[in-house]
Amino acid sequence: MRDTQHRLEAYATQHMLEACATSVVVKKFGAFVFLLSNPVAVLFLSFIFGMAGNAILSKMSIYERLSDRYLFSGSKPYESLGVVWYRNFLLATPLRFFNSNIRFSGNPDLATLNSVMNHMKDAEVSHWFGFAAMLVLNCVAAWYFSYKVVLGYVVLNILGNLYPCLLQQYNRRRLTRVVNSIKRRNVTPVN
């Protein structure tokens, strides 16, 4: 009898300690866990994380190699994934006012086009960082919340980070063709 009572006390003590530890974790990380329940807030945090990651990575030598990469070799896969539709959607909504550095009007010169391409690379790398951050937080949210929250993460991550990356690559490829044609026209043949 004494042994059973001792085991019950040990069991109760252990569960009380676990409950206290859980309570401390919830109190300590409660705001973080609450934030994780809102995929829209996490999407905006992923934008901030992406800008910070881009600022850090732009100082490194690997940045040029990463920013010059394309996910697909041609334009057709981008079009098949609906990047043109996504572009039209962005242009029809107030989202078109974001990132004004990647726009030009009229007949721009070569320096303006190169500047726009550099801003496109920055935006693309930022969105890749945000995409990766939101993938990690998606796994954390899957641990704490229901499939509805996780589905919200997936949809918002695709629309808010992946498609902008694909759109930047698609537009940058088109702009590169224009820049190369301008460079070919400006080169005078040597006789």
Q: Within a domain: residue 171?
A: yes
137 domain-assigned: yes
Q: Based on the domain organization, do 30 and 43 belong to the same domain? A: no
In this predicted structure, what is the pLDDT of residue 131?
A: 92
Q: Which residue do the tokens 């460079």 mark?
A: 183
Same domain, 116 and 42: yes
Same domain, 3 and 43: no
Is 113 found in the same domain as 26? Answer: no
73 plus 154 within the same structural domain: yes
pLDDT at residue 163, rounded to an integer: 92
Task: Tell me, yes or no, whether 52 and 122 share the same domain.
Answer: yes
Q: Are residues 118 and 84 in the same domain?
A: yes
pLDDT one digit per residue (tens) for the chain, 191 residues = 566 666 656 555 555 444 444 444 445 556 666 667 778 888 888 888 888 988 888 888 888 877 777 777 788 888 888 988 998 888 888 877 777 777 777 777 888 888 888 888 888 889 999 999 989 888 888 887 778 888 888 999 999 999 998 998 898 888 888 888 888 887 655 55
pTM: 0.74
Domain that holds residue 147: 37-186
Q: Say what the pLDDT of residue 30 is.
A: 63
Residues 62 and 17 both lie in one domain: no
Statement to judge: residues 27 and 60 lie in one domain: no
145 burial level (CB within 10 Å; 0-12, 13-18, 19+): middle
Radius of gyration of the chain from its Cα atoms, rounded to whole angstroms: 25
SS3 assignment for 112-145: HHHHHHHHHHHHHHHHHHHHHHHHHHHHHHHHHC
In a shared domain, residues 94 and 13: no
How many domains are contained in the chain? Answer: 2
Same domain, 30 and 50: no
